Amino acid sequence: MEFLHAVIVLSNFVIIPAITYGSQLALGALGVTLVYGILRFSNFAHGDTMAFGTMVAILFTWWFQSIGVSIAPLPTALLALPIAIVLTALLLLGTDRVVLRFYRKQKSAPVILLIVSLGIMFVYNGLVRFIIGVGDQRFSDGSRFIISARDFKKLTGLDEGLAIKTTQVITVITAVMVVALLFWFLNRTRTGKSMRAFSDNEDLALLSGINPERVVLYTWLIVAALATIAGTLYGLDKSFKPFVYFQLLLPIFAAAIVGGLGNPLGAIAGGFLIAFSEVFITYAWKKVLTYTLPEQFAPSGLMQLLATEYKFAVSFAILLVVLLFKPTGLFKGKSL
Counting residues that bind another protein (by CB under 8 A) gives: 25
- Shortest approach of another protein to residue 53 CB, angstroms? 19
Q: Determine the 3-state secondary structure of 145 from DSSP.
A: strand
Give the shortest CB-185-to-another protein separation in angstroms: 7
**Alpha-carbon distance values, 119 to 4, 97, 112, 243 (Å):** 51, 15, 11, 16
* 204 touching another protein, by CB under 8 A: yes
Nearer to another protein, 105 or 325 (CB): 105
CB closer to another protein out of 56 and 336: 336
Q: Which is nearer to another protein, 4 or 112 (CB)?
A: 112
Q: Bridge partners of 147?
A: 164
Is the Cβ of residue 193 or residue 238 nearer to another protein in the bound state? 193
Q: Within 59-98, which residues bind another protein (CB under 8 A)?
A: none
Closest among 259, 220, 215 to 43, alpha carbons compared: 220
- Half-sphere exposure for 186 (CA within 13 Å, toward CB): 23
Indicate the angle between helix axes 110-132 and 46-66, nearest 10 degrees: 30
Q: Write out the binding residues for another protein, residues 144-203 only, by CB under 8 A.
A: 185, 189-191, 193-194, 196-197, 200-201, 203
Q: What is the CA radius of gyration of the chain?
A: 21
Pick the closer one to another protein by CB: 204 or 302: 204
Least distance CB 33 / another protein (angstroms): 15
Residues paired with residue 56 on neighbouring β-strands, in sequence order = none
Minimum distance from CB of 52 to another protein (Å)? 22
Query: Does 106 sit near another protein (CB under 8 A)?
Result: no
Nearest-angstrom CA–CA distance, 237 and 140 = 8
Q: Which is nearer to another protein, 211 or 304 (CB)?
A: 211
End-to-end CA distance of the chain: 47
SS3 (DSSP) at 210: coil
> With binding defined as CB under 8 A, does residue 335 bind another protein?
yes
Q: Which of 1, 67, 207, 324 binds another protein (CB under 8 A)?
A: 207
157 CB neighbour count, 10 Å cutoff: 6
Q: How many helices (H) and strands (E) in the chain?
A: 16, 2
8 Å CB contact between 273 and 326: no
- Tell me the closest approach of the beta carbon of residue 181 to another protein, in angstroms: 11
Of the two residues 201 and 308, which places its CB atom closer to another protein in the complex? Answer: 201
Tell me which stretch binds another protein (CB under 8 A): 14-22, 142-150, 210-218, 307-315.
210-218
String of DSSP letters for 143-193: -SEEE-HHHHHHHH--SS---EEHHHHHHHHHHHHHHHHHHHHHHHSHHHH
Per-residue interface string for the shown chain with another protein, residues 290-329, x marking contact by CB under 8 A: ----------------------------------------
Q: Which residues bind another protein (CB under 8 A)?
A: 185, 189-191, 193-194, 196-197, 200-201, 203-212, 214, 218, 221, 335-336
